[in-house]
Amino acid sequence: MEHWIEILMYALAGTLLGGFLFVVPSIHFLNFSGVIIAIWGHYHGLFPADAPLTLFAFFMGMVVSFGIMNTIPSMFLGAPDESAVFVVLPGSKYMLQGKGYEAAMLTGIGGLLGILFLAIISPFFFFALPKLHVILGPHMHWILGLIIIYMLMSEWPKGTGKGETWWIKLKGAWANLFAGIATFGLSAFMGFLIFNRTMVPAKMGFQGLLPIFVGLFAVSSLISSILSKQKIPHQHITDTIDLDYKTMWKGWMPGCIGGFLAAYLPGVTGGIGGLIAGHACAQRDDRIFVMSQGVSKVVYYTGQFLLFFIPSYFFLNGAGLKRGGMAINLGPFYKPTLLQEYVFIFGVVVIASCISYLLLSFNSKWIIKLIAKVPYQKLSYASLAIVVVMVFFMPAMLEGTINSAVLIAGVQVIGIMCVSTCLGLIPIFYHCRRSNCMAVIIVPICISMAGYGPPLVNLLGLG
């Protein structure tokens, strides 16, 4: 393949950039890709016109790096994204035991095992997945409906409550159940509003979910960390990880299943894949759970983008398969047509995953040293300030300038973030599942795919 050295250099650049950039709380590769594409629109020499795969290699390196590296802000700084929300609780447990580094490396090992799964399943992508897609395509709405039912039913059972009277027992048993259902319903309603009546500037349309996800998961977690006033004990950095092949197997399989379902099914995010993986390995060993989450999110992010590189001639409709924001954002610029391109991009995935794992170890060590020197509450305040500033200036970064219209747009997205933050605090304060917040995306997509979107839009007066 021509320009292969150039393509590898861009892949390395994307991996290294992501390796240090995604340590910062709330920076998501989709948001940053929007900024890169906007800059590319002004400076066309950023990526060679005669080697379009350099663009995809750069972003694939970033995607793989994000899948492995976002453990750090989620675990050490308490600012998860939607895919890493389930790592926070067991991660906090490891942190309180002084084993935060071990937990981070467990997710990294899970990520490498996720890449191994993608290598094994690649032949399935070419020969079985297109045929399976023809069968499942018309039934996606009720498949998503089953996942929604599964998410809601996972709140039960929660016991009968404790207290002297039947009313106190009933209230104790149903308080968090009602909070979970309320969180699900309010998140679904917010998502339906955002999908059908955008509240962000037009140029930020494809970044419309940014303030919502940041509020639901990152800001709410940071506020919780600030209010808890929790002191982090000394963290031990070990040379070895307590892990055997049996434990790896128990974490690998559930993570692969959850991650692949999230990668293939529209509207199913990495967080929902993590929920499925967590339930599939509901065992007492926290190592299995933490590693399964690492497998799930890497399979989700990397697998989703990798599906785009399956040549379109494998599909009966000739349109290929687009899953996730990255494939949708980059789809207009290039259409993979050769099997050789998939193989080359997968080589990028392997190289990027190995480099990202090494960077995970390096970054975890200096973050641990930072936590030892700076009080955790101050770090939480600093992380919260970074998140708010980034969300506020996201319209300016996409626009490439600062003016009154951009500043007003920044205030708008901050307002959306504040509303979603209030919603994200409900599961934290009432101890229900934070996965209910995922309804913000899966419910609107399910309704639209079932054909009930337009009637509901008219009923709510959003048309």
Q: ∠ CA(252), CA(255), CA(261), 5° rounding?
A: 135
Q: What is the mean pLDDT of residues 185-213?
A: 76
Summarised one tens digit per residue, pLDDT across range 220-264 is 888 888 887 767 788 888 888 888 888 888 888 888 988 888 888
Residue 353 in this model has a pLDDT that exceeds 90: yes
Per-residue pLDDT for 152 more than 80?
yes
Q: Can you read off the two tokens belonging to residue 185?
A: 């319903």
Q: Which range in 49-53, 144-148, 316-320 is most confidently predicted, on average pLDDT?
A: 144-148
Instruction: Tell me the per-residue pLDDT of 162-177, one tens digit each, with 9 for 90 and over.
Output: 667 777 777 777 777 8
Write the CA distances from 276 to 68, 149, 414, integer angstroms. 19, 13, 32
Query: Domain map of the chain by residue range?
Result: 4-230+239-459
Q: Look at residue 277 and tell me whether its pLDDT is greater than 60.
A: yes
R_g of the chain, CA atoms, integer Å? 22
**CA-closest candidate to residue 297, choices 90, 114, 144, 75:** 114
In whole angstroms, give the CA distance from residue 358 to residue 366. Answer: 13
Give the residue, 283 or 368, on which the prediction is more confident.
368
Q: Concatenate the DSSP letters of all residues of 246-297 into one string.
A: HHHHHHHHHHHHHHHHHHHSTT--HHHHHHHHHHHT--S-HHHHHHHHHHHH
Query: So what's the pLDDT on residue 290?
Result: 85
Tokens of 292: 């399964």
| Coil, helix or strand at residue 317 | coil
| Confidence band, pLDDT 50/70/90 cuts, at residue 317 | low
Whole-number average pLDDT of the chain: 81
pLDDT digits (tens, 9 = 90+) for 420-439: 999 999 988 887 888 888 89
Q: How many helices (H) and strands (E) does the chain have?
A: 20, 0
Average pLDDT score over residue span 59-71? 91
Question: What pTM was estimated for this model as a whole?
Answer: 0.85
